Chain A
Amino acid sequence: MVEVKSIQKSFGGTEVLKGVDLKVEQGDVVAILGPSGSGKTTLLRCMNFLERAQSGQLIFDGRTYDLHKITKKEIAQIRRKTAFVFQNYNLFLNKTALQNVTEGLTIARKMDKAKAEEIARGALEKVGLSDRCDYYPSQLSGGQQQRVAIARALAVDPEIIYFDEPTSALDPELTGEVLTVMRKLAEEGMTMLVVTHEMGFARNVSSKVVFMEDGVVVESAPSKEFFENPRSERTREFIRLIQQE
């Protein structure tokens, strides 16, 4: 469904992604693991064009795009079919929870207001926040804000949702409520690509794990295999370390 090939990205003289390949099939929940600075977030941001890669291909819905030469119009088309959940939520601060969700429908997709609100209320109900529709982000807890962000992502009926460390800014209790929502989405068959440090999520919810370090994919395997039977020495060491915690 979504695939990237030999994607390269440098900031200044530092090469952050050194030719990464990644494939996500429909219905997959792929967790990208790896130490800080390994390029996980950059990979995700390049896939949604928040960063422009120096080279590489993106295959989306059967069409191949050159990541460096892709046009604004093509980017807009792809973004319309994807959604992104940020580490620090990035809710529109001047909009209520409901407006945060409707904005992408009424403004970007020209849907009429009544229909957009109906969809938005449904999405907020799904993340357990139907009673917070008229609250501004500043009036919500971190966990609630992130759930609104997930509702905002769901509402546009995306083919894939990218999650960039969605729980890293939250305490354990709030992390729990966000992960519960994500698990529910996974069970419903939503295609998700998740950069995370949550080993429980990677092990129990995701179908596939991609382990990155220093801008390359070290290992990519189904979750069970990744945790129980890692192939590379570096992956074994990584799993040993997290199991000591």
Chain B
Amino acid sequence: MITHPFTYQAPTTIEEAVRALGGAGEAKVIAGGHSLLPLMKLGLAQPEMLVDLRRIASLGEIRTEADGTIAIGALATHRVITHDQTVRAKLTALAEAAGEVGDLQVRARGTIGGSLAHADPAADEPAPTIAFDATIRAVGPKGQRDIRARDYFKGTFETALAANEILVEIRFPAQPARTGSAYAKFAHPASRFAVTGVAAVVTIKSDGSVERAALGVTGAAAAAYRATEAERALTGTKGDAKAIAAAAAKAADGITALSDLVASSEYRKHLVTVYARRAIERAIERARA
């Protein structure tokens, strides 16, 4: 039950939404509501105004631009992303991550923009977002700006987004040929959040060796991170079982792992290495296919 009173606006353009957000009192943006409403019910968030984005039709689109960039509107639901043919073909790890979010009901209403703006450390979509080197497009009173995904996630529920900015789009650059990707997740049995989720994006050379590797890890630390040591270890190898295992073993290097009733930090770090290996294996398999 939400006990505190609040006002509600549903603008039809981004500009109106930004204006509403900058108005008097504490305002919050709402889309699918699957992160914000639970917080409001618990009294942990008590905004005075909600700015609902759902009447801004353009924010729900997924489109491919001339240079191959795939631009996903902030209001695209997890379910839409899971089933979008372009995303499935070109950004497989993202489609897989979206398909692993919560449950059917959550996926039907929750949005990628909401997930990235909320920045729960155990959310799924941050992992492929950083692994694909996506860009977060935000609009504020001063106009539009793009933030590199790697600079965007600052900590638990903390992002580079300013309070008066609205996340409008996530832009995934075109991936080179012979690129495969995968998302492997150990889900919390109750909440279905990621205890560990690893997105692997691997590009191979024509001889089958690894040209480039990117690993985005979520659920394990205060914020989603790139496992750069593991990426370096994998790059240039033959991408065989031994090389994959050696690289995956470094996927939790240097992190301060989270700890909860389901997984201690020690176990979590172990899970990161296991799921990194599983994600890399599948990504390479797809790159070679």
Please determine whether chains A and B interact with each other in the same assembly. Answer: no
Q: Which A residues form the contact surface with B (CB < 8 A)?
A: none
Q: Which B residues form the contact surface with A (CB < 8 A)?
A: none
